[in-house]
């Protein structure tokens, strides 16, 4: 006990107060913890990637070699400023599927989709605004939107043919409704062509004021049409349908039996005609559109593609996924 006294009276006093209070605090604390404290899990925040697994991109456009804009499922628009290496998602005010996108330049673009939705931007996509579109009782599904000169054109179900002359803000309907969908449109100057369901083709000579139907032997739906000049054009469609014209679309010749797969888009890349479609199919020809060969876009690639665009030495493809084709090799973005 001698040593106990030696260790100091003041300290002893404080200690005794602490030792008297401590048990009560601790027991109270335990009771409280036991009955009232519930652990809360800390949840890590998840940021969705710009391009997700579930995404389909129905359309893509490249206003410059380095800039690409793609539109697809659930109102998604993504943009790359570095030739497709990195992509950024752009906020849009819609969740409907977007089926088409077109651009005048790096700043100004339009996108179109289901329920008559058209979006337009003039700030490079930092903000996409809903455009004024005439809508009717039918689903108003829009497929493609294209830009020719200052005018933007959109096509869709029920002979949907719309036009905007103010960079996509306001749209007017040009044709009365009928049960036939229009799937694609193309203009060279004042000459224009629109293709659609059951092989329908229409042409205009006056910048789209009046449209004349063109009769062909083809009954399959046409999905895309492109002209390399005012007279030479190619239209493609379901079950490998391939039509060629050498007279500004007055008459069309059917190129038979290259593939049974759907062809969904066709472009003129300054050297060749290239058509893409279902199951990775690719159909190409020389400028005359006389020697067609069918193959695959890339070895082992089986995804469906609804659009192909060229950007310098590369091609961008949109469809089941977003792909970049370079030297015959395809890189799928986000995989």
Instruction: Return residues touching another protein (CB under 8 A).
Output: 1, 3-4, 7, 15, 19-20, 22-24, 26-27, 30-31, 33-35, 37-39, 41, 43-44, 46-49, 52-54, 56, 58, 74, 95, 97, 99, 114, 139, 143, 221, 223, 238, 262, 264, 278-279, 302, 304, 306, 319-320
Cβ 284 to another protein shortest distance, Å = 21
Question: Which of 91, 320, 309, 296 lies closest to 333 in space, CA to CA?
Answer: 320
What residues pair up with 192 in beta bridges, in sequence order? 187, 204
Question: Which of 51, 59, 57 lies closest to 267 in space, CA to CA?
Answer: 59
Closer residue to another protein (CB): 143 or 187 = 143
Q: Which residues contact 54 (CB under 8 A, 6 or more apart)?
A: 73
Closer residue to another protein (CB): 148 or 304 = 304
Cβ 328 to another protein shortest distance, Å = 20
* Spatial contact of 301 and 316, defined as CB atoms under 8 Å apart: no
Cβ 288 to another protein shortest distance, Å = 29
Any long-range contacts for 79-88 (C-beta under 8 Å, 24+ apart)? 79/124, 79/125, 83/311, 83/312, 83/314, 84/314, 84/316, 84/324, 84/331, 84/333, 87/50, 87/51, 87/322, 87/333, 87/334, 88/50
Cβ 217 to another protein shortest distance, Å = 18
Tokens of 219: 């009954």
Closer residue to another protein (CB): 262 or 282 = 262
Cβ 142 to another protein shortest distance, Å = 10
Closer residue to another protein (CB): 190 or 329 = 329
Q: Are strands 222-227 and 233-237 parallel, antiparallel or unpaired?
A: antiparallel
Cβ 215 to another protein shortest distance, Å = 21
Closer residue to another protein (CB): 183 or 285 = 183
What residues pair up with 223 in beta bridges, in sequence order? none
Closer residue to another protein (CB): 66 or 239 = 239
């Amino acid at each position: 006990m001698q040593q106990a006294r030696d260790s100091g009276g003041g300290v002893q006093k404080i200690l005794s107060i602490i030792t008297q209070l401590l048990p009560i605090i601790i027991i109270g604390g335990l009771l409280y913890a036991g009955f009232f404290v519930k652990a809360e899990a800390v949840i890590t925040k998840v940021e969705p990637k710009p391009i997700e697994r579930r995404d389909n991109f129905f359309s893509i456009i490249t206003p410059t070699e380095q800039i690409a804009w793609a539109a697809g499922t659930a109102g998604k628009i993504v943009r790359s400023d570095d030739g497709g290496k990195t992509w950024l998602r752009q906020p849009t005010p819609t969740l409907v599927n977007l089926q088409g996108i077109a651009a005048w330049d790096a700043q100004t673009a339009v996108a179109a989709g289901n329920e008559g939705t058209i979006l337009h931007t003039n700030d490079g996509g930092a903000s996409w605004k809903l455009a004024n579109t005439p809508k009717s009782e039918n689903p108003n599904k829009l497929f493609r939107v294209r830009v020719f000169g200052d005018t933007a054109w959109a096509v869709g179900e029920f002979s949907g043919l719309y036009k905007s002359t103010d960079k996509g803000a306001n749209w007017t309907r040009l044709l009365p409704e009928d049960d036939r969908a229009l799937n694609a449109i193309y203009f060279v100057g004042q000459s224009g062509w629109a293709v659609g369901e059951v092989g329908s083709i229409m042409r205009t000579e006056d910048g789209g004021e009046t449209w004349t139907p063109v009769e062909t032997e083809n009954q399959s739906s046409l999905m895309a049409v492109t002209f390399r000049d005012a007279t030479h054009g190619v239209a493609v469609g379901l079950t490998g349908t391939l039509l060629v014209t050498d007279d500004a679309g007055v008459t069309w010749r059917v190129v038979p039996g290259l593939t049974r797969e759907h062809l969904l888009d066709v472009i003129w890349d300054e050297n060749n005609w290239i058509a893409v479609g279902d199951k990775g199919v690719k159909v190409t020809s020389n400028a005359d559109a006389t020697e067609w060969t069918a193959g695959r876009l890339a070895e082992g690639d089986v995804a469906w593609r609804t659009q192909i665009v060229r950007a310098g030495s590369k091609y961008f493809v949109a469809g089941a996924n977003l792909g970049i084709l370079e030297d015959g090799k395809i890189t799928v973005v986000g995989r």
